Amino acid sequence: MAARGHVQDPNDRRLRPIYDYLDNGNNKMAIQQADKLLKKHKDLHCAKVLKAIGLQRTGKQDEAYALAQEVAALEPTDDNSLQALTILYREMHRPELVTKLYEAAVKKVPNSEEYHSHLFMAYARVGEYKKMQQAGMALYKIVPKNPYYFWSVMSLIMQSISAQDENLSKTMFLPLAERMVEKMVKEDKIEAEAEVELYYMILERLEKYKEALDVVRGKLGEKLTSELQSRENKCMAMYKKLCRWPECNALSRRLLLKNSDDWQFYITYFDSVFQLIDESWTPPPEDEHSLEGEVHYSIEQAVKFIEERITEESKNARPLRGPYLAKLELIRRLRYRGCNDEYKLGDPEELMFQYFKKFGDKPCCFTDLKVFVDLLPSSQYTKFISQLLEVIPLSAAAENEIALPADIKALQQHLCVVQLSRLLGIYHAMDKKEKLIVVQELMLRYRHGLEFGKSCLKTELQFSDYYCLLAVHLLLDLWLEGEETAVWQCLTLLEEGLSHSPSNAQFKLLLIRIYCRLGAFEPVAELYSSLDAKHIQHDTIGYLLTRYAEALGHYTAASQSCNFALRFFHSNQKDTSEYIIQAYKYGAFEKIPEFIAFRNRLNSSLHFAQVRTERMLLDLLLEANISTSLEESIKSMSLSPEEDDIPWKDLRDNRDLTVLFNWDPKDRDISEEHKKLSLEEETMWLRIRSLTLRLVSGLPTLSHTIQPKNSEKTAENGVSSKIDTIRSLLQQLEAAVDSGKTFLEQKIQYPVLGPPPTRMAGFFSNGSCQCQTSLFYLVSDIYELDTNGLDSAEIQERIGNSFKSLVERLTDLFNKCKGDLIEVRDGTLKTHPNLLENLVFFVETISIALWVSSYCDSVLRPFKSNLQKKKKKKKESSVAMPPVFTHFLDYVTELQTLTSNVIDHIKGLELILTELKLEELSLKDTLLLQEEKKFTKTVQGKVQSSYHHSVQEIGELLKKRLDTIKKLKI
């Protein structure tokens, strides 16, 4: 071995420059250096692999793969070549090739611990659990270390998790894993906490809760030390599974005596007390109450216990919230059982008032009390709020002025009361005039509160930010009631708030939602980027961006936002494998199933499926038959009409629909029903979009040379099956459209800050849906013409009629795009985002019309040339041209005229938007202060600029499409 190591030294020195070039991203120099080295040392395998890495990174994937396979075929065993090939295969997203590499290496060097562990990790990357189990045992035989043995056990558990048959999982894999661990227990070889955790996990999955409890409570349980109260939490979980409520109660009671602020144990304590009451449990006369000590089994004991916790807590220097909230929780549970009056715990209103006096200056006070407001009778709301206001130290400079807080504590208390007022519906009950007065007062308080945050860093939030948010919520109410100016004031106040608190995510999220509602996407991209969304947030809040980018005509931004999201989803696959490997290395076995569940959840993400589909449609819209042919575009995306890669049954809605703060009462807030309906709507719209994409991807497959109709070959996997696919997809599209229409008949109104509705309603109402469906039916007719020849007058007439009705429908769609995008009415700005969305649908529909026309062109062109040949042979000047040619040429001419008209209309819109002098708008609203006027100007400027940008991008794309139409002359 020493000699071998000595021989490798000069090679390491020779390879060093290539590694350096690759590390610095200088791939071309790396390839050159590798070539130089290979001229002198032909057998230096690692140099070949490093060259392949350089080729892979410069986009020459095929050459890189060929070179790598050349080296892999030699089955290298030197560490440099193996590591370099592993890196290359990972970059190629071909982890399965790494397994073959190390399988060969292990055969040649059977006693190498390093190669065996690399082989195990290679199997882990591709999820080959059975082979992982075997590799783990092989490793343990070479080097008898506990971790290797337990790698094998964990692989058995993974086989049980991934097994389709649950019975097989519980009768074979898990019992085998259990026996393997028991063997180690009997031999007293259990060393680490991770091994005990693994044993516990197996027993839990086998539903052997009694045995699992014995393990945790026994000698092995002493090793569970890394997490705080790990042992107690596991015991509690098992007691619950076994319905051993006395032990649950005694353990939670004991833990609360140690820490009376741990909320989870209050919940368990109450659950167990009421379970014992329902079971009429009584303690045994002689023995101890339970394994865990004394048990409380009556309401009197529970009341006394909570009162004692409060008394104990009052002696503490630092007040704890737990005992006070526990008292309210107990009242709520007793009231639910209809037996509150027997046990005088106090009046909830008074208890909440006392709680506010104690903790009102903490930001968490509102969220704590929010849970219990339903204990108050609605008739007491106003009195309760007045009572709270009385204890806040506010002082007014003059008699008629608003009383303001003198310090941050008083400000926090007042903020809590304002939030509660909104939650209790007091603001909702006001009329327009009262609401505007409250908005003024809240903004005055907001600006006054800024004084307390003068020393705050840019990354910190201002203490009074919530005043501004609450004012905006009130204005949103007014906007929904039909007050058009209110929405502009919302934007003004939010922009002002953001200037003082540039890191406030709530301001940004609310601005994003409102700008999108107004049809202005340009400011949104910048706002979203400043949110600096990380990792999983691309899935949870990415919908805020991807829903509107393309719909509002910002094609470039739409491409970028889809790329952001897709990059995250694709890297998730690779990253999760690395997390799993780290979990094996460090013995965090319980995390492995979690990582796999996380990966599956992301792969089944609704947002992932939407972004993937929309991205491909967008790419076709921007490139197909412009920079590349439709066929090439579809080929580069590996699209096939037969394949549907969306996991419809397992789709997961990972959107965070409560990301925006909300203080609305329950009846106005986003409900579970809203979330369910939104998922249903999103899935329907995704199905329509996915089928549209698959239908478009089927067009190039039809453009092949067709056998005559009596040929038997057509049925053999040929084009006839392709048209069957198209027809089947068309039926599915019709069914999806019908489902969508039925769904929209419910006329669902989501809350203003709830899930944004899909584009489905506009797609149906503006006629795009009918146009696109007719276009796909036309494809079927053209195909029929292609197979039957020009003899059938009936088909030709049908095609002619289709062309006519299509032009009429497209003209109707254009008519629905007419009108001013932004208009000034009574000194107020009003936007019409629906016109913008209609224009975007028009561009998409005209693009599909052109792709279908190209298919018509490819079918009719050969017919025409054949007719001309016949004409020449017969030397007749008057061979009658079939009517279909005239129909097609008329149709193309009309398409060209229509598109030119739309382009002219768009130029007109651009001109109007450019000439629109927003500064001349009389900002006559007396509510606006001078500084607010400055922000209003900014906001209106952003909206105007965004609309201008949208119209420009739509216009540019239509001009490219017009050029395509001009080429359609058969």
pLDDT at 285: 79
Asked if pLDDT for residue 560 goes beyond 50, the answer is: yes
Cβ pair 524, 512 in contact under 8 A: yes
Could you tell me which of 495, 534, 537 has the C-alpha nearest to residue 512? 495
Report, as an integer, the average pLDDT of 10-16.
Answer: 80
| CA distance readout (Å), 604 to 645, 648, 825 | 10, 8, 47
Q: Which residue has the higher pLDDT, 75 or 1?
A: 75
**Residue 570: band (very low, low, confident or very high) from pLDDT cuts 50, 70, 90:** confident
Q: Name, in order, each residue with C-beta under 8 angstroms of 261's C-beta and a sequence gap of 6 or more.
A: 320, 321, 322, 323
Model confidence, pTM: 0.90
pLDDT at 863: 81
Could you tell me which of 608, 587, 598, 592 has the C-alpha nearest to residue 125? 592
Asked if pLDDT for residue 921 goes beyond 80, the answer is: no
**Residue 339: band (very low, low, confident or very high) from pLDDT cuts 50, 70, 90:** confident
**Residue 720: band (very low, low, confident or very high) from pLDDT cuts 50, 70, 90:** low
Place of tokens 């494809």: 779
Cβ pair 142, 111 in contact under 8 A: yes
Report, as an integer, the average pLDDT of 192-206.
Answer: 93
Asked if pLDDT for residue 207 goes beyond 90, the answer is: yes
Report, as an integer, the average pLDDT of 641-649.
Answer: 91
Provide long-range contacts, Cβ within 8 A and 24+ apart, for 526-532: 528/561, 530/502, 531/505
Place of tokens 């003004």: 492
Mean pLDDT of the chain: 89
The tokens describing 564, both together, are 């952001």
Q: What is the pLDDT of residues 268-298, one digit of tens each?
A: 999 999 999 999 988 887 777 778 888 999 9
Asked if pLDDT for residue 258 goes beyond 50, the answer is: yes
Q: What is the pLDDT of residues 213-226, one digit of tens each?
A: 999 999 999 998 88
Cβ pair 126, 96 in contact under 8 A: yes
**Residue 267: band (very low, low, confident or very high) from pLDDT cuts 50, 70, 90:** very high
DSSP string, 741-767: HHHHTT-----TTSPPP-SHHHHHHTS
Asked if pLDDT for residue 552 goes beyond 90, the answer is: yes
Provide the 8-state DSSP code for 880: P
Asked if pLDDT for residue 2 goes beyond 70, the answer is: no
Provide the 8-state DSSP code for 461: P
Q: Name, in order, each residue with C-beta under 8 angstroms of 201's C-beta and a sequence gap of 6 or more.
A: 157, 589, 590
Helix (H) or strand (E) holding 404: strand 404-405
Q: Which residue has the higher pLDDT, 521 or 885?
A: 521
Q: What is the pLDDT of residues 424-483, one digit of tens each?
A: 999 999 999 999 999 999 999 999 999 999 888 989 999 999 999 999 999 999 999 988
The tokens describing 950, both together, are 């949208």
Could you tell me which of 616, 742, 751, 770 has the C-alpha nearest to residue 684? 742
**Residue 874: band (very low, low, confident or very high) from pLDDT cuts 50, 70, 90:** low
pLDDT at 710: 42
Asked if pLDDT for residue 233 goes beyond 60, the answer is: yes
DSSP string, 335-400: HHTT--TTS----HHHHHHHHHHHHTTSTHHHHHHHTTGGGS-GGGHHHHHHHHHHTS-EE-SSTT
Report, as an integer, the average pLDDT of 718-735.
Answer: 86
Backbone phi, psi, residue 112, to 5°: -85, 115
**Residue 227: band (very low, low, confident or very high) from pLDDT cuts 50, 70, 90:** confident
Cβ pair 95, 89 in contact under 8 A: yes
Asked if pLDDT for residue 940 goes beyond 80, the answer is: yes
Neighbours of 948 (CB within 10 A): 19
**Amino acid (1-letter code) at residue 169:** S
pLDDT at 916: 79
3-state DSSP helix/strand/coil % of the chain, to nearest 5? 70, 0, 25
C-alpha dihedral sign at 229, 232, 235, 236: negative
* Strand duo 394-395 + 404-405: pairing: antiparallel
**Residue 875: band (very low, low, confident or very high) from pLDDT cuts 50, 70, 90:** low
pLDDT at 869: 73
Report, as an integer, the average pLDDT of 831-858.
Answer: 94
Report, as an integer, the average pLDDT of 778-803.
Answer: 87
Please state, for a pLDDT cut of 90, what percent of the chain lies above it. Answer: 63
Neighbours of 714 (CB within 10 A): 17
pLDDT at 777: 94
pLDDT at 873: 67
**38/51 Cα distance (integer angstroms):** 10
Provide the 8-state DSSP code for 430: S
Please state, for a pLDDT cut of 70, what percent of the chain lies above it. Answer: 94
**Amino acid (1-letter code) at residue 411:** L
Could you tell me which of 258, 154, 237 has the C-alpha nearest to residue 202? 154
**Residue 877: band (very low, low, confident or very high) from pLDDT cuts 50, 70, 90:** low
Q: Name 404's bridge partners.
A: 395
**579/577 Cα distance (integer angstroms):** 5
